[in-house]
Structure formats: structure tokens, C-alpha cells
């Protein structure tokens, strides 16, 4: 199954800048059977007793909301600054040069809720770590951080070693 999914992930060299090989999942999203299969395979990796699935802007929203639906959980978007309309918690994360912020609505997660974080790609792990911190600021428990793809050579798992981590496809 994984090898079928892998065939629908396109490497785009030098995007968004020279030296980066971008993992483009749009061919996978465009193929109905493979799209469905990917959701089913991700579901096998995650716990079933989840209150909220947190998706990270923007590609984390796609399978994040599908997982939330299948798990009968709520969906919570984590976004870049200035996008969420209500009061937010903020958490910095590292970029190659400098830092940026991730934000989440203050009432998105209730004290003690069991939370699954989802994003499309685990690279250095900085984004996922900031997302986990946001969930904890709201009083939620990060039960798992799940990815469609993991770029193992960037060792992102080391940054999020305090949390259970799963990914469907590892490079
Ligand atoms: P990081 O914080 O380094 O783990 O970066 C993760 C975020 O950047 C995720 O939201 C990914 O969507 C995106 N990202 C990083 N590297 C890639 C890549 N090679 N291909 C596609 N997306 C990437």
C-alpha cells in the first residue's frame, strides 16, 4: 500500500528555493482511490480515543480534518500570525534564518483533552514542536504527532522526542 502512495508523491527540486527538494502531495490528493487509501493507512497509525485533531497550516488541514472526521473528534487549525480571528496563544518556531510564530485560538482545546497533531511533512521538527507547545498551553495532552511523510535524514524526531511520533512514509 505504501509503495502505491509513494508513487503519487512528486519531488520538486529547488522549490521554494535552491537546495530544497519539495515533497509535493498534490498528485496523491488528485487521485480518488489513493487519496482514500492514504486516509485509511494514516488511521491505522493513530490512537482512536482522541478529542481533537490539530492540523498545521496549510497542508496539515487536509488529512487532519479527514482524520478528525473518522475519529469522531473535533478539528483545530494552527495558523500563521494574523489569520485566526479570535484571541490566540502564540508560540515561536525556528526558521532557517530567524523565527516566526504559530497561533491557535485560546478556546480551541479544553483542559485535559486528548490531542492528535497532524502535518504532511516532518522535516527539522521545529513546526511540530511549536504546535505541541500550543496544545499544552491550552491544557491539552499531546497523545501523538503524526505525519504523512518523514524526512529522516533531517532528524526531526530528536526535536520532538518527548512525544510519540508516527509517519506513513519515511525517506
Ligand atoms: P520543519 O519545522 O522543519 O519540520 O518543517 C515542517 C513544515 O515545513 C511542514 O509544515 C512541511 O509542510 C514543510 N516542509 C518542510 N520541508 C518540506 C519538504 N521538503 N517538502 C514539503 N514540505 C516541507
Entry pTM: 0.97
| Strands in 4-139 per DSSP E | 10-13, 21-24, 52-56, 74-78, 88-94, 99-105, 114-122
Q: Can you tell me the mean pLDDT for 55-76?
A: 98
Q: Which helix (H) or strand (E) holds 148?
A: strand 141-150
- CB of residue 109 inside a 6 A radius of ligand 1: no
Distance 122 CA to ligand 1 centre (A): 6
Helix (H, G, I), strand (E, B) or coil at 70: helix
Q: Could you count the other beta carbons within 10 Å of the beta carbon of residue 44?
A: 9
Q: Can you tell me the mean pLDDT for 69-92?
A: 98
Q: Can you tell me the mean pLDDT for 43-59?
A: 98
Q: pLDDT > 70: what percent of the chain?
A: 100
User: For 47-170, which CATH class?
Assistant: alpha beta
Q: Domain extents for the chain?
A: 47-170
14-33 residue pLDDT tens: 999 999 999 999 999 999 99
87-143 residue pLDDT tens: 999 999 988 778 899 999 999 999 999 999 999 999 999 999 999 999 999 999 999
Q: How would you classify the pairing of strands 99-105 and 88-94?
A: antiparallel
Q: Can you tell me the mean pLDDT for 3-12?
A: 97
Task: From 100, 124, 126, 127, give the residue whose CB has the most ligand 1 atoms within 8 Å, as the site to mutate.
Answer: 127
Amino acid at each position: 500500500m505504501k509503495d502505491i502512495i509513494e508513487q503519487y508523491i512528486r519531488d520538486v527540486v529547488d522549490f521554494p528555493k535552491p537546495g530544497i527538494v519539495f515533497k509535493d502531495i498534490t498528485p496523491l490528493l488528485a487521485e480518488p482511490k489513493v487519496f482514500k487509501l492514504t486516509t485509511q493507512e494514516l488511521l491505522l497509525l493513530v490512537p482512536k480515543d482522541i478529542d481533537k485533531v490539530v492540523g498545521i497550516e496549510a497542508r496539515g488541514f487536509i488529512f487532519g480534518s479527514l482524520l478528525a472526521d473518522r475519529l469522531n473528534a473535533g478539528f483545530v487549525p494552527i495558523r500563521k500570525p494574523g489569520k485566526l480571528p479570535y484571541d490566540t496563544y502564540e508560540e515561536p518556531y525556528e526558521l532557517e534564518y530567524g523565527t516566526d510564530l504559530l497561533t491557535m485560538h485560546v478556546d480551541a482545546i479544553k483542559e485535559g483533552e486528548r490531542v492528535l497533531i497532524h502535518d504532511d511533512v516532518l522535516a527539522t521538527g521545529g513546526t511540530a514542536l511549536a504546535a505541541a507547545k500550543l496544545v499544552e498551553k491550552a491544557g491539552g495532552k499531546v497523545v501523538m504527532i503524526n505525519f504523512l511523510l518523514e524526512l529522516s535524514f533531517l532528524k526531526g524526531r530528536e526535536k520532538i522526542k518527548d512525544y510519540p511520533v508516527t509517519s506513513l512514509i519515511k525517506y
